[in-house]
Structure 1
Amino acid sequence: MSAESLRSPWFWLTLLALALLGLFVLYPLINILTASVTGEGQNGWSRLIATPHYLEAIRNTLILATAVTLIATAIGVPLAYVTARYSFAGKGLIALLPLITLVIPEVIAAQTWLMMLGNNGLITRFLRDFGIRLPSFYGWFGLITSMSFIYYTYVYIGVVAAIGKFDVQLEEAAQSLGTAPGRSRLHVMLPVILPAILASALLVFTMTVGNFAISMILSHRLPLLSVVTYQAAVAEGARDITMQSTLASVSVLIVMLVLFLNRRIVARGKYEIVQGRGARPVPLRGLSGLAVALPAGLVVLVSLLPLISIMLGAFTASRGPVMQWGTWTLDNLARVFITAPQPLINSLTYSGIATVISTAFTALVSYLVVKKPNLLTPFVDYISAIPLALSGTVLGVGLLATFHGGWLPLSGTASIIVLAYVIRRMPFGMRNGQATLHNIPNSLEEASISLGVPPVKTFFKVVLPVMLPAVASAAILTWTTTVAELSASILVYSGGRETLPIQVFRLIDSGLMAYASAYGLVLVAVILIPIIVASKVFRIDVFSSK
C-alpha cells in the first residue's frame, strides 16, 4: 500500500468502519458459530441430534417455509401478471393496497388475525352462529394462512416489476411463428422473469424461516426453529449459550443453503430481462373484468384484514380478555398516551437514535465503497451485507452472547437495543446509498477538489447534497422498520425498556387484545405518518433505491 493511501483520510475512515463492522456484526456471528461447538458441557450439535423436539422444530420450519413460499408465489405471480397486463375496474387500488401490508408489523398481523379468526374471533363467532365451525387458527392453519397473505406482497412487487420491464415484442415474435398466446407466455416470458420469481421466493422462504412474531403467537404447541431458539435463549440466558447458538447456527445454515441453491438454479439459465416496449394493458369490461377484479380484490381485502381489525379493536371496550364488540371507548388509547406511555416513548427514542446513527454510517460507508475503493472496502461491503442473511432471533442471540459481560457489557442497557436496530436495518441504507452514488459522476467531485476544496469538505458540500433524496429515503425506511422490530429486541431488552412491539406482544400473551390493538394502532400510525409526509410533502420516493 502506498504512502499516499496511508495519508488519505478515506483509508483511515474505511479502517474504522471495518473495525466497527467486525466488532458488532462479524464478531457476534463468529461467537454464535463457535459457541455451538465450544460451549460448556456436551457439544451443541450432539444435543441437537439427540433431542427430538429440536429436530421436529427444524423439520416443521422447513415444511412451513416451503408451504408459505409456494402459496405466496401462487398468489403473488398471478396478481402481478393481471395488474401488469390488464386494465379493469379498481385496478389502481388493487395495485397499491398490497404495499400497505409491508408496513404492518408482523406482531400486529398475528394479533389481528386472531381477533378475526381465533377461537373467540369476530368472524369465527359470526360463522358459528350459522353452524359453520372453522378449524383452530393456532398451528399449521393459522401459520400458513397469515404468513402467505403477508409475504405474497414481496413476490407481487418483485414480479410485477419484471413483467413491466419485459419486451412484449418477444411474445409477438413467437406468436407470429404460430405459437399460441398462452404457450408463448409460458415458453418466452416465464423463463425471462423466472430469476425475479426465484429471488422473491427466496426472500419469502428466508423470512418465514426467521419469522418470530407470528410463529411465537400462532404456533401454540407446534415447535418451530425461531420459537425454540427464543425459548432456549430465555431459559438459559447468557450462562450457557451452547444450545441457543446451535439453533441460531442452523437458521443461518438453512438460509445459506437456500441462497446457494437459488443461485445454482438461476445460473443454469442464460435469460435476461429484455427492456423494451412493455405490453399495453388490455382493458377488460363486463364479465371478463369482473372475473379478474373479484379474485384480485378478495386477495387484497384478506391481506388488509389486520389493518381493519386493529382499528376496530383499538376503540372496542373489553373486560379483561373479553372483547365487547359494538361497544366503543377511548380508554384503550388513553392507556397508550396517559396511563402507560413508556413503550411509546422508548420506541420513539430508540428508533430515532438508531435512524440517525444508521443513516450517517451507511451514507459514509456507501461513499467509501463506491467512490473511494481500496484494499479494505470490499470487506466492508461484504460484512455490511451479512445482516440480510440473519434473522432477528439469530442477531439477538449473537448480541446477547457477545455483550453480556466482558470489556463491553451492553446487556441490560438501551444501547444494545439501539445496536440491534442499527445492525438489522443497515443494508437498507447501504442499498440506497450505493445505488445513488453509482449515478453521480466523479467529475463533480474532481472539479470541487481542483478548486482547492479539501476532499472531506467536498463530500459534505458536493456529494452529500446530491445523495440527500436517497439518504432521506433510507432514513425513513430505517425508521419504519426499526419501530416495528421485535425478534431481536425482545431477546436483548430489559425491564422498563419495552418498545411498542414488545408491549403488543406481551399484551397478546396475556390475552388483552383491546389494549394490544390500541398500542398496535399507534405503532402503525408511527410507521405510516413519516411515509405519508415524505411522499406527499417532500416528494420522496421512499421505496425506490435510485
Structure 2
Amino acid sequence: MSRKIHWDFWTGITLLSIGVFTLFLIYPLFSLFVSAFQDPDTGAWSMQNFAHFFDRKYYYQSMINSFSVTTCVTILAVIIGTIVAYFMTLYKIKFKNVVEICIVISLLSPPFIGAYSWILIGGRNGYITRFLAEYGIDFPSIYGFAGILLVLTLKLYPFIYLYVAGAMKNIDSALIEAAESLGCSGIRKVITIIVPLITPTILAGALMVFMNAMADFGTPMLIGEGYNVMPVMIYSEFINEVGDQANFAAAMAALMVLITSTIFMLQKYIVNRKSFTMSSLRPMQVGELHGWKKAAVHLFIYLLVALSLIPQLVVIYTSFLKTSGSIFVDGYSLDSYRTIFENLGTAISNTYLFSTTAMVVIIFLGMTIAYLTTRKKSWLTDLIDTLSMFPYIIPGSVLGITLLLAFNEEPLLLSGTAAIIIISLIIRRLPYTLRSSSAILYQLSPSMEEASISLGASPLKTFFKITAVMMLPGVMSGAILSWITAINELSSSIILFTGATKTMSVAIYTEVIRASYGTAAALSTILTLTTITAMVIFFKVSGRHDVTL
C-alpha cells in the first residue's frame, strides 16, 4: 500500500527547494552540456567543440595557464597564511585586532580592484614606475603571470589565515607539552605536531583559494595582457559569438565544471580520510617574542597587511584627484564623484537593490532548507543537501553562461532582466548561508522545540517563534558576509548585465577598460567603504572581534 504524502509547510519547502535547484541549477547545467556537445552548424551531437579546444595550442594553453597561476597562488597563499596564523595565534602581536580587521577587509574586497590599483601603482604610467624611471630604473612589469600572481596571492591568503587560525585555537596544549617533554621543540615541533594537526584545515582553505583563483575573471582580464586563462577565454569566445562560438564557449565552460568538480571531490576524499576532532580543554598559551625575532615577525606581518591594503588606499586617494580626460593632473577635485552620480547612479542603486533582494531570499531559503536537512532528514532532504554543494564548484562566469543558455528564449525569457542577476547571486551565495545555518541548528537542542509543541504551539509556529529567532543572529552575521561578496560580484554579472542592469563592479570594470580611472576610483571607493561599513555591522551583530570560517 502506498504511503500517503502529508502536505504541510515543510512539504512545500521541500518541493520549493528541489524546484529552485532543479530550475536554476540543474537545468542550466544540463543546457550547458547539451550546447557543449552540439555542432554549431547542424545542431547534431558532436565532439567537435572539444576536439577544436585540444587541437589548438591557443586554446588549451589557457587551461595550462589557469593551472599554473592557480597552483602557484594556492602554494604561496598556504605558506603565507599559515605563517601569519601561527604567529598571530601563538604570540602576542601588537594591534592584533586591527591587523585581523585589515586582513578581512583585503579578503572581502574584489580582486579586480586590486588589479586596477596595481596598474595605477606599477603600470606603464604608474606612480612607482614614473618615480623609478627618473633615476633610470625599470620597474618590473605588473602585467602577465607575475601581476596575476601578486594580486591573487594578496587577495586570497586571508582564507588560509582564517581557517588555520581557527584550527590552531582548538589544539590542546597537552599535546605540545607532551612533545616538548620528549625533547621535540622548535621547528621540529611545528613540523611533526602542529602541521599534521591542522592539515585537514589547510586543505579546506587551499580548496577555497584554488577555486577562487581558478574562477577569477577580473584580475587576468585587466592585467593578463596575453596571459590567457580559462575564464577570460570563455568570456571572450562567448560574447563575440562570431560563427556560433557560444557552443565552443559552452564546451570550455563544461571542461571547467569537470575540472573544479574533480578537484573538489579529490579534496573531500583526502580530508575525509585525514579528518579528526580536536577538543581543546586547554588552549595553547600565547607566548612573547623577544629581540630580533619580535621585530622580524612584526615587520613581516605589518608589511604584508600594508601590501594587502594598498589597493583600497590607492583607489580612495586617486578618487579625489583632478582628471583631464582619462589622465590624472595636479590638484584635488570631487568631479569623479559628480560624474558617477550623474551618469552611473543606476549602477550604484542596482548593486544595493539586487544584493539586498538576493539576501532576503537567501536568508529565508537558508534557514528553512537548513532546518529540513538537519531536523527532518529523509532521502529528499539528503538530495537537497547534495544539490546545495554544486554552486561551490561552479565558477561565476560559467554560471552566467549556463543561465543565459537556459533562459534566453520563451517560455522563460530572463536574459537581460534584473531577475537573472538576482538569481545568479542567490544560487552562488545560498550554500554559504545554508552551511552557517546548519551549523547553528546543530548547536540548538531540539528539546526547546519539543517543549513549545508540548505546550500547544504548532510545529510551524514553533519554528518561526522559537527556532528562527534563536538562529537569526548567527544567520544575519553570515548573511552580511554573503551580502558583501554579492555587491562585489563581477564574474557572472559581466556576462548577464545590460545597460539597465549594470552593477558597480561591472561599471568599475568597464570604466577601467575605457581608461576612465577617475570614475573607476570613485566607484571603487564607494564599494570599499560599503564593505568596511558592512564589516563594522557584522562585528556589532555577531558580537565577535574576528571572522572565522
Tell me if TM exceeds 0.5: yes
Letter paired with 1:61: S
Match of 2:379 among 375, 381, 384: 375
Q: How does 1:31-430 map to 2 (within 5 A)?
A: 31-41=31-41, 43-236=48-241, 241-267=246-272, 269=274, 272-324=277-329, 327-430=331-434
Q: Which stretch has the larger CA shift, 260-269 or 469-478?
A: 260-269
Q: Which stretch has the larger CA shift, 243-252 or 509-518?
A: 243-252
Q: Which residue of 2 aligns with 1:20?
A: 20
The 1:277–1:128 alpha-carbon spacing in structure 2 relative to 1, beyond 3 Å, is: farther
Letter paired with 2:471: M
TM-superposed CA distance for 1:544, in Å, is 5.9
SS in 1 for 2:37: helix
Distance 2:21 2:263 in 1: 25
Distance 2:516 2:169 in 1: 45
TM-superposed CA distance for 1:440, in Å, is 1.9
CA contact (8 A) 1:429 1:478 kept: yes
TM-superposed CA distance for 1:268, in Å, is 5.2
TM-superposed CA distance for 1:374, in Å, is 2.6
The 1:270–1:516 alpha-carbon spacing in structure 2 relative to 1, beyond 3 Å, is: closer
SS in 2 for 1:317: strand
Distance 1:352 1:95 in 2: 26
**2:440 is the counterpart of 1:436:** yes
TM-superposed CA distance for 1:238, in Å, is 11
TM-superposed CA distance for 1:129, in Å, is 2.1
Can you list the C-alpha shifts for 1:436-470, whole angstroms capped at 9, x where unaligned? 11122222222222233222222211211111102
Letter paired with 1:106: P
TM-superposed CA distance for 1:77, in Å, is 1.1
TM-superposed CA distance for 1:103, in Å, is 2.0
Distance 1:457 1:30 in 2: 38
% same residue: 31
Letter paired with 2:196: P
Structure 1 residue runs without a partner (length 5+)? none
Structure 2 residue runs without a partner (length 5+)? none
TM-superposed CA distance for 1:135, in Å, is 2.0
SS in 2 for 1:87: coil
Distance 1:472 1:489 in 2: 24
Distance 2:251 2:258 in 1: 10
Q: Give the paired residue count.
A: 544
Q: Which residue of 2 aligns with 1:500?
A: 504
The 1:543–1:180 alpha-carbon spacing in structure 2 relative to 1, beyond 3 Å, is: closer
Distance 2:465 2:395 in 1: 38
Distance 2:336 2:523 in 1: 8
Can you list the C-alpha shifts for 1:249-276, whole angstroms capped at 9, x where unaligned? 1211221222233344445546654523
Letter paired with 1:176: S
Letter paired with 1:196: T
Q: Which stretch has the larger CA shift, 506-515 or 90-99?
A: 90-99
CA contact (8 A) 2:321 2:333 kept: yes
Letter paired with 2:52: R
TM-superposed CA distance for 1:171, in Å, is 2.2
**2:9 is the counterpart of 1:9:** yes
CA contact (8 A) 2:106 2:155 kept: yes
TM-superposed CA distance for 1:539, in Å, is 4.7
Can you list the C-alpha shifts for 1:165-208, whole angstroms capped at 9, x where unaligned? 11222122122122343212211111111111122112111111
Distance 2:500 2:545 in 1: 33
Letter paired with 1:490: I
SS in 2 for 1:7: coil
TM-superposed CA distance for 1:128, in Å, is 2.1
Letter paired with 2:371: Y
Q: Which stretch has the larger CA shift, 278-287 or 119-128?
A: 278-287
Distance 1:542 1:519 in 2: 28
Distance 2:305 2:464 in 1: 44
Letter paired with 2:451: A
Letter paired with 1:93: V
Superposition TM-score, scaled by structure 1 size: 0.94
The 1:493–1:156 alpha-carbon spacing in structure 2 relative to 1, beyond 3 Å, is: same
TM-superposed CA distance for 1:507, in Å, is 0.5
SS in 2 for 1:400: helix
CA contact (8 A) 1:473 1:540 kept: no
Q: Which stretch has the larger CA shift, 186-195 or 122-131?
A: 122-131
Q: Please, what is the CA RMSD of the aligned residues?
A: 2.2
The 1:358–1:264 alpha-carbon spacing in structure 2 relative to 1, beyond 3 Å, is: closer
Distance 1:365 1:545 in 2: 23
The 1:495–1:364 alpha-carbon spacing in structure 2 relative to 1, beyond 3 Å, is: same
CA contact (8 A) 1:6 1:12 kept: no
CA contact (8 A) 1:433 1:467 kept: yes
Q: Which stretch has the larger CA shift, 399-408 or 230-239?
A: 230-239
Distance 2:353 2:50 in 1: 40
The 1:191–1:447 alpha-carbon spacing in structure 2 relative to 1, beyond 3 Å, is: same
Distance 1:92 1:534 in 2: 15
